[in-house]
Amino acid sequence: MLGFVGLSLMLFAVAVAWVAAHLSAMFGEAEEPARTPWAMVDELINGQYKWPGRGTTYTAISITVVALLLASFVAVKYMRRERIPIDRAARFMAKRKDLKSMTTEGVRGIAGRLGLGVEAPPGVYLGKAVRYEDDLWGSWEDMHVDIWGPRTGKTATRAIPNIVAAPGAVVVTSNKRDVVDATRGIRETKGKVWVFDPQGQANEDPSWYWDPMTYIGESIVRAMKITGRFSSVNRPAHARSDAYFEPAAEDLIANLLLAASIGGHPITQVYTWLTRPNDDTPERILRAAGHIPSAEAVESIITSPDRQRAGVYGTATQIMSFLIAPAVTEWVTPGKNPGRPTFDYLEFVRGTDTIYLLSEETNKAAAPLILALTAALAEAAENEAIKNPGGRLPVPLLFVLDEAANVCPWTALPDKYSHFGSRGIVMMTILQSWAQGAKAWGDIGMQKLWGAANVRVYGGGVVDTKFLGDLSKASGLFEPRTVSMTYKFGDKRGISRGSRPEPVLNEADLSAMPRGRAFVQFSGTPPVLIKTVPWWRGPHAKAIKESIARYDPGAKKVKK
């Protein structure tokens, strides 16, 4: 690098000297120099050309003019940069060489190795490095965990840009319709769009449905998995469960789900059976199908003492209470319009469709089904990946799990997180705080999720001192120089200089992180401060605006 700079300066000096010699000749003070700078140098060396007396003056003037122009250019560029106090920390954080594999060129190389063409985005976009202005990305092997406080720009800078750019299928969870309205128009050009909206967050009609029985089939293992997902939604990770009734209730539900699936019944039949503790229909279906252990388990509960049976059935009824809402169940049963198309989750993971799974933040009536469908899609993608060379999906499948702790608190997520990346299943889990994640997965589970992510992003708006303290430690230390002066008798002064290590970013800096900045930790590299890029400054701005104008009722009203 230094050699290149030296050569450039030498060439610049020769060119300026040649111009100065021409100026001297132009004003009649010297002979005309050779036609090229290099020929002039050769003639000077061989004594064939005499350097003009005023050539040195003209050279100095030329260099001064060029230097002033360069200084003006640099000054204008500096003045145009956003001057935010926190940016001063960037020079003590990751160096350019640390970020090489996260730049466009770096992730493009990884994408090429994975078989993705240049027409696909190189990875999952993050923003620009504050210090170097380089675009930074997560590769198609990386997993993301984001923590952004309310109203800090996570949807505009993280969710929307990456949803519209994704080359393959996309799964989105959210509790608001804004992400649907902004991205739906673009995603429709890549495949079919499915909006699962049991609570009317986007005013979507149930024009299709997903039958959970297609996931269960005749597998008691899958029936147990989906039961665990239903059960976990309304039970905080720290909560203690009843040592007998909850496990017994979950076993009962799993066996009833299996019976309903084998018998060709909709999922709502399970709730009906739970309201009839003496109904032995599910036991007979299971026995006839050869699922003897499940049949015996159901029979043992039905024939148990009244109080015991009531406790098990009562607990099971509470777990499955989301099935009492017709507005919810019409999204998972044929209902009054059995001719509606059904959602094939197995086919979805092979294509480029998009599904949005919407639920209210506080009313979790739809959350059990959203969790069940999200997990079924991830499991299907994993199984599909195994069939392909290298055990990866040929085109990455992106999960954007916005409000994951509320909408999709999948208990197994922390354990499976790092494994998904090796399968071409890229997940971006977005939370509002560390505490929100700890409530869903427990302290250990949240630590495991954070540690399993290759890309960890903090976008500001958090006041949790423990979390901010950990980020502050990760930001590293620097040693600002200090100067102190002391006055003694006789007007003599003493000056001492020193330094002491301080955090690059302290808790106050991180808590006050301004909108438009984010703190990013890549695995194995020092943290970097980035400028986030909202969708309206990105390459898809026009198409996103058109999608909003088409689907957002508020935008249509304003337009009129």
Report the amino acid identity of residue 213: M
Mean pLDDT of 408-429: 95
Task: State which H helix or E strand residue 429 sits in.
Answer: strand 425-431
The predicted pLDDT at position 217 comes to: 97
Following DSSP, what letter does each residue of 432-477 receive, concatenated? S-HHHHHHHHHHHHHHHHHHH-SEEEE-S----HHHHHHHHHHH-E
Spatial separation of the C-alpha atoms in residues 131 and 94, rounded to whole Å: 9
C-beta separation of 137 from 104 below 8 A:
yes
Give the confidence band of 558 by pLDDT, cuts at 50, 70, 90: very low
Dmax of the chain from CA atoms? 120
Mean pLDDT of 159-188: 98
Strand, helix or coil for residue 180: helix
Residue 50 pLDDT > 80: no
To 5 degrees, how large is the angle CA 137–CA 402–CA 340? Answer: 115
Give the confidence band of 152 by pLDDT, cuts at 50, 70, 90: very high
Q: What is the pTM of this model?
A: 0.83
Report the amino acid identity of residue 211: D
pLDDT in tens, 296-342: 999 999 999 999 999 999 999 999 999 999 999 999 999 888 789 99
Spatial separation of the C-alpha atoms in residues 238 and 197, rounded to whole Å: 29
Residues 6+ apart with CB under 8 A from 240: none
Residues 6+ apart with CB under 8 A from 307: none
Higher model confidence: residue 340 or residue 50?
340
Spatial separation of the C-alpha atoms in residues 302 and 307, rounded to whole Å: 11
Task: State which H helix or E strand residue 174 sits in.
Answer: strand 170-174
Residue 14 pLDDT > 80: no
Nearest to 382 by CA among 410, 338, 408, 345: 345
C-beta separation of 136 from 520 below 8 A:
yes
Spatial separation of the C-alpha atoms in residues 455 and 451, rounded to whole Å: 9
Beta-carbon-side half-sphere exposure of residue 230 (alpha carbons within 13 Å): 27
- 292-302 and 306-319 are packed helices; what angle lies between their axes, rounded to 10 degrees? 120
- From residue 405, alpha-carbon distances to 33, 34, 67, 207, 538 in Å are 76, 75, 57, 28, 29
Residues 6+ apart with CB under 8 A from 515: 152, 153, 460
Question: Could you tell me where the DSSP H helices lie in 275-349?
Answer: 281-288, 292-302, 306-319, 326-329, 345-348
pLDDT in tens, 197-255: 999 999 999 999 999 999 999 999 999 999 999 999 876 555 556 668 999 999 999 99
Higher model confidence: residue 496 or residue 100?
100
Residues 6+ apart with CB under 8 A from 168: 351, 352, 393, 395, 396, 397, 398
Residues 6+ apart with CB under 8 A from 438: 237, 445, 446
The predicted pLDDT at position 77 comes to: 56
Residue 264 pLDDT > 50: yes
Strand, helix or coil for residue 139: coil
Give the confidence band of 105 by pLDDT, cuts at 50, 70, 90: very high
Residue 525 pLDDT > 80: yes
Is 105-150+169-208+343-478+507-559 assigned to CATH 3.40.50? yes
Residues of the chain with CATH 3.40.50: 105-150+169-208+343-478+507-559
C-beta separation of 162 from 428 below 8 A:
yes
Spatial separation of the C-alpha atoms in residues 202 and 416, rounded to whole Å: 30
Following DSSP, what letter does each residue of 338-405 receive, concatenated? TTSPBP-HHHHTTS--EEEEE--SS--SSHHHHHHHHHHHHHHHHHHHHTSGGGS-SS-EEEEEETHH
Spatial separation of the C-alpha atoms in residues 240 and 48, rounded to whole Å: 97
Q: Give the helix, strand, coil percentages of the chain, each rounded to 5.
A: 50, 15, 35
The predicted pLDDT at position 36 comes to: 80
C-beta separation of 428 from 172 below 8 A:
no
Query: Tokens standing for 443?
Result: 């302290």
Query: Tokens standing for 219?
Result: 């597998």
Residue 400 pLDDT > 70: yes
- From residue 45, alpha-carbon distances to 38, 40, 474 in Å are 11, 9, 59
Give the confidence band of 7 by pLDDT, cuts at 50, 70, 90: low
Buried b (16+ CB within 10 A) or exposed e, 219-241: ebebbbbbbbbbbbbeeebeeee
Question: Could you tell me where the DSSP H helices lie in 199-267?
Answer: 213-216, 220-232, 245-262
Spatial separation of the C-alpha atoms in residues 421 and 452, rounded to whole Å: 10
Residue 379 pLDDT > 90: yes
Nearest to 510 by CA among 556, 553, 552, 464: 464
Spatial separation of the C-alpha atoms in residues 181 and 544, rounded to whole Å: 9
